[in-house]
A and B are shown apart, each in its own frame.
Chain A
Amino acid sequence: MGTSVSKLNKFTYTWLILFLVWLGFTTTFAFAEVVTGILLSFTVAIFSYKSFTYDGLKIFSPRRLMYIVQYFFVFMLALIKANIDVAKIVINPKLPINPGIVEFNSQLKSPFAKLILANSITLTPGTITVDIIDNKYFIHWLYVTGTDQETTYKEIAKQFEDILIKIYN
């Protein structure tokens, strides 16, 4: 997927994102600030566009944007749930944990999608991504409910991967 995107496409994407971050940090639309931002993000983009993105502007198609918004809400819900779960375990005097490292296979192909899945897993209920080897994810799980790959996949990754597949594959 990464090689099919043209250089111009990648460059424009990098420029746009960097400029948006600049606008966010300066929070002003004064002429001088905006021009400085355009020039600075242009300069930085020249040096960094090759490694900044895999998919370029493709990500801005309306269908994908819709799924990204959906992903954001699913992720926020899972994040809040994760924090409450871990907090409950910490408060409980018996400290009910049953840790272990489990594995499952992912169908994602794009490296960026893999990164997002790994990050989301790390931020959700009692799970940390220890390593990814090819398509195998190794997860440290605070409360293991099953070691076979199907259970772990369903419990840990399914809700995120379903959406990520629609965005990236």
Chain B
Amino acid sequence: MQILNYIGYFLISIGTIFLFLGGLGILRMPDFYTRLQAGTKASTLGAMSTILGIGFLQPEWFVKTFIIVVFIAIANPLSSHALARGSHKAKQMPFLKDEKIGDAYKEEEEKLHKNQKKEDK
């Protein structure tokens, strides 16, 4: 039982560290998309390991916490995908450091747009 407690506290500490780093990342990153990266990555592992840690501290809750972790793993990427797609549709362009690396999605969208205009005519 003691060992379960240690694992629980260890997971919770790891989780809080990652949640803190996620917050720091949101402050430091230059634009929306990179902030989204920090927000989704660090906070998924942060939230997952904090909740699992609680499951280890209270073994009768373990199955429930595991289900919550699975839900987070499904829902978190969906919401961040929706945010990224939505902001790109709203003409929020990503910050690009290197000129060689472009925005493939923008080109594809423009193509689609042209095709649609042709069809309309």
Contact = CB atoms under 8 A, between A and B. Distances in A.
Interface of A: 21, 24-25, 27, 79-80, 82-83, 86-87, 89-91, 95, 97-103, 118-120, 122-123, 126, 128-131, 133, 136, 138, 140, 142, 144, 147
B41 A101 contact: no
Q: Which of A79, A83, A95 has the most CB of B within 10 A?
A: A83
Contacts of B18: 83, 87
Interface of B: 18, 21, 24-25, 28-31, 33-34, 36-38, 40-42, 44-46, 60, 63-64, 66-67, 73-74, 76-78, 80-81, 84-85, 88, 94-98, 100-106, 108, 112
Contacts of A97: 29-30, 34, 97
Contacts of A79: 44-45
Nearest to B78: A119
Contact of B34 (A25, A99, A122, A136): A99
A113 B40 CA distance: 21
Contacts of B44: 79, 83, 123
A53 to B, nearest CB: 14
Shortest Cβ-Cβ A-B pairs, 4 listed: A122-B77, A100-B101, A83-B45, A90-B25
B64 A90 contact: no
Contacts of A130: 81, 84-85, 88, 105
A80 B103 CA distance: 28
Contact of A140 (B33, B41, B42, B73): B33
